Structure formats: C-alpha cells, structure tokens
Amino acid sequence: MDNIAGQNNALKWAVNISVLILVIAWLIPTVGLFVSSFRDRDQITASGWWVAPFSVELTYRTRGDADPRQEGDLWIVEGNIFESAEVAAEFTSGEAQITGFGILGREPAAYAPGEEVETRDGGMLTVNADGSYVYTSEEDPGSGPRVYFAAETPPNFTLDNYRTILTSDGMDRAFINTLTVTIPATIIPILIAAFAAYALAWMDFPGRGLLIACVVGLLVVPLQLALVPLLNLHNQIGIGQSFVGIWLAHTGFGLPLAVYLLRNYMVGLPRDIIESAKVDGATDFQIFLKIILPLSFPALASFAIFQFLWTWNDLLVAKVFLPSDEASRVMTVTIADDLLGSRGGDWGILATAAFVSIAVPLLVFFTMQRYLVRGLLAGSVK
C-alpha cells in the first residue's frame, strides 16, 4: 500500500514533519519536568530548562579567605575566589569564568573583571576573570574582603532534589502509602469481577440482560455521588477514614469496568471448549478455574493495569476516604495539598515530586502498553 496512487513524496514529507511536530509538542512539557528535576535550585531560577546543557550566569557571595601577609606598610590578601570556603563546592571543575564582581550585595556584578575598586574600609580590590584576586589595605584587615561576583557556571546536574524529596517532605511515606492503597485495590476487584463476569457470559439465568445493562449504566455513575453517603456509612460501621475504607471504595468503584471488560472478553472465548468440558462432567466451578481464568489472562492483565493506574493516580477518593494526617497521605494528596503550598516556589522540588509520583505508572505503561491498548479497545462501548 506504500506506493498507491495519490501518495506522493511531498505528502509523505508533510506527514512525517507534522507527526514530528505533534510528538515534540506532546513531549515538551514532560521533558521540561524531567530536566528540571535534575537541576539545582539556583540554576532553575537563572535559566530555562531548555538551555540546561549550557552554562548559566549565577551570582555568589563569599569572602576571600587567604591569610593576609604584610609587605612594607601594606597588607595583602591574595588568592583565588573560586577556592574560598563559601563557594568552593560549586566550582570543582575549574572551568568557571568571572563575568563581573562587586562589593555590595545589591550590585553583585558592578565591575568588570580586572578593575580596581575601593572597598568600604578603604582597601583596594581586584578580581580577575580566572578568579584570582588581590586585596591591599593599609591596616591589618584581619580577614579577607567580602566579595560578590557573577560567574558563568557550568551546568550542574544533581540528584539533590531526589535526595531531599525522598528523605523529607513526607514523600517517602507517601510513596509507601500509595503502594499500600494500590495493590489490594487492584487485586481484590479482579477476583470478584471474574466470577461475576463468567456468570454473565456463560451461565443462563433470568435477569441476565438486565444485570448487564445495570453494569453498563454503573460504568458512568460520577464518583462524586458516592462520596458523602459512603463516608457516612463508613463512619457508622466504624471503618471511618482508613486504608480499609479506601480499599473497599476502590474495589466498589472499579467493579463495573472489571465486570464489563472481563465479560466482553469471556463471551468471545470459543464455545466448543466450554461445552466439551461440560460434556466431560466438569462443573461450572472447575470450568471457571481451569479453563476460563487461564484463557482470560489478557483481559485480566488489561483490567489490572487500568485499575493500578487509576488507583495510583487518584486524588479524589484518597482525599475523601483517607485521613488527612501526614502518616496516611498518598503522593497525589501530598503534592496537591502540601508541596504546592509549602514549596510553591521551589520548582526543582516540585518537579522531582511530580516525577517520583509518575515514575511507576510510566514504567508500567511502557512495559505493559500492549495490554493497556487491548483493554481500551475492549472497554469502549462499541
């Protein structure tokens, strides 16, 4: 079909280019987040993530800390500003260049490198582009001069943000909580739904059509309706806001899709196998366990992925059915309610938090995409 009439080269190019543009447009936001999560705070505020591989001009504050020595009646402090204790950690590669220096915090780069400047206590200060400085004073300065400078700083990719996020701010706890919510909430509905789906697909009984219609109807019931009555119910029977409550809630909310997906799949299984098993004397229970369940693996996997992504990514149910204290917050709640408020301006931390929270779903997505697609195709009402 590649060379059929009506397909010409120009069109092919146009298609390739427009798909490329679309893909880039779709990727840019995520790439931005990903890159930002590895940059340090100063670099993020100084330049956009799209220039992250290039050096960026940052300003620093330090004190020349070489020992003063006396020459005639002058005191001289001489050294390299990059090696002073306050900033040495930032300049380990030795490629940095001074672009300007100053003696006042509000004008950190007022003078060009090499200029000689009179400081407030009467000494003379020169800082060169390579970082070497000379300070001369008529009295014993005691210590080196206070120096502000701007330098082209090479890109600095660190894991500091990840270290911060995973050790403080409750994200480590939230990660475990998310996992705790997700796994039972994924496994339990599968079993319940599988039996029900088998009954709806292969057993004949009055009211079957009605039940299927009900399941289809319940598929679209807005979750919002369930919140208040169920929370009250949970409070009355003593579950309250707890992990047990959220497991039950996710199980209930996930069931319609599970039953629907699995029934659609099971109906398509070959009738011969099931009937010959029946002729051989297998009970429904045996047929289900030994034939239907193994054959339905692709559908089970599809639903498991859906339910996993849905419970992992959920904010609404977690906000309502889990207590709001720090010990039981999941990641989405931590980000939306806590970090966005307390760390609102700290973009590196926010990016990292977001990336930690989406890393597992992305992993699941890229490894099990096949099942996800199959589930989507089966799940949309044809």
Partner 1 sequence: MSPLVQGAITIFVGVFGCVGYFYAANLLLDKVIYPAKGPNIGRNINRANAIRPWLFLLPAILALSIYLVYPVIGSLIRSMYNRAGNEFIGLGNYTSLAGDPEFQTALINNALWALVVPAAATFFGLVVAQLTDRLSWGNIAKSLIFMPMAISFVGASLIWKFVYAGDPDIGIINAIRDGMGLDPLDPLQLPFWNNFFLMVILVWIQTGFAMVILSAALRGVPEDTIEAAIIDGAGPFRVFFRIKVPQIMGTIVVVWTTITILVLKVFDIVYTMTGGNFGTEILPSYMMSFMFRDDGRATAVAVVIMIVVLPVMIWNIRQAQKEMR
Question: Hey, which residues between 321 and 380 contact partner 1 (CB under 8 A)?
Answer: 328, 332, 335-336, 340, 347, 350-351, 353-354, 357-358, 361-362, 364-366, 369, 372-373, 376-377, 380
CA 187 to chain centre: 24
Residue whose CB is less far from partner 1, 142 or 341:
341
Binding of partner 1 by 281 (CB under 8 A): no
When binding is defined by CB under 8 A, the residue of 196, 269, 293, 295 that contacts partner 1 is: 196
Residue whose CB is less far from partner 1, 120 or 382:
382
* C-beta of residue 64 within 8 angstroms of C-beta of residue 131: no
Binding of partner 1 by 228 (CB under 8 A): yes
Residue whose CB is less far from partner 1, 99 or 195:
195
Residue whose CB is less far from partner 1, 87 or 305:
305
Q: Return the C-alpha torsion angle 158, 163, 164, 167, nearest 10.
A: 180
- List, in order, residues 6 or more apart from 172 with CB less than 8 Å away: 166
d(CA 295, CA 7) in angstroms, rounded, equals 42
Least distance from partner 1 to the Cβ atom of residue 289, Å: 9
Binding of partner 1 by 222 (CB under 8 A): yes
d(CA 164, CA 342) in angstroms, rounded, equals 14
Query: And the tokens for 307?
Result: 């339910």
Least distance from partner 1 to the Cβ atom of residue 198, Å: 6
Residue whose CB is less far from partner 1, 297 or 365:
365
Binding of partner 1 by 10 (CB under 8 A): no
Binding of partner 1 by 103 (CB under 8 A): no
Binding of partner 1 by 282 (CB under 8 A): no
- Strands (DSSP E) contained in 89-159 are 97-102, 116-118, 124-127, 132-137, 146-153
> At residue 328, what are phi and psi to the nearest 5 degrees?
-125, 20
Q: Which residue has the tokens 């090696």?
A: 83
Q: What value does the CA radius of gyration of the chain take, rounded to a whole number of Å? A: 32
> By CB under 8 A, which span of 60-68, 79-87, 137-145, 208-216 interacts with partner 1?
208-216
Kindly state the number of chain residues that form the binding site for partner 1, as judged by CB under 8 A.
Answer: 121
When binding is defined by CB under 8 A, the residue of 195, 269, 291, 326 that contacts partner 1 is: 195
Q: Please state, in angstroms and as integers, the Cα–Cα distance from residue 13 to each residue in 1, 4, 7, 23, following that order.
A: 17, 16, 11, 15
When binding is defined by CB under 8 A, the residue of 10, 85, 89, 225 that contacts partner 1 is: 225
Could you say which residues in the range 38-57 bind partner 1, by CB under 8 A? 44-50
Q: Which residue has the tokens 């990514």?
A: 313
Alpha-helix residue ranges (DSSP H) falling in 203-270: 208-219, 223-236, 243-267
When binding is defined by CB under 8 A, the residue of 139, 283, 290, 323 that contacts partner 1 is: 283
Residue whose CB is less far from partner 1, 92 or 283:
283
* C-beta of residue 133 within 8 angstroms of C-beta of residue 126: yes
Least distance from partner 1 to the Cβ atom of residue 367, Å: 11
Q: Please state, in angstroms and as integers, the Cα–Cα distance from residue 374 to each residue in 169, 262, 271, following that order.
A: 38, 12, 22
Could you say which residues in the range 111-130 bind partner 1, by CB under 8 A? none
Residue whose CB is less far from partner 1, 146 or 343:
343
Instruction: Please give the DSSP secondary-structure letter assigned to residue 154.
Output: P
Q: Which residue has the tokens 């992305």?
A: 362
Query: And the tokens for 271?
Result: 């009738």
> By CB under 8 A, which span of 76-84, 91-99, 121-129, 245-253 interacts with partner 1?
245-253
Least distance from partner 1 to the Cβ atom of residue 372, Å: 8
Binding of partner 1 by 26 (CB under 8 A): yes
Binding of partner 1 by 319 (CB under 8 A): yes
* C-beta of residue 316 within 8 angstroms of C-beta of residue 223: yes
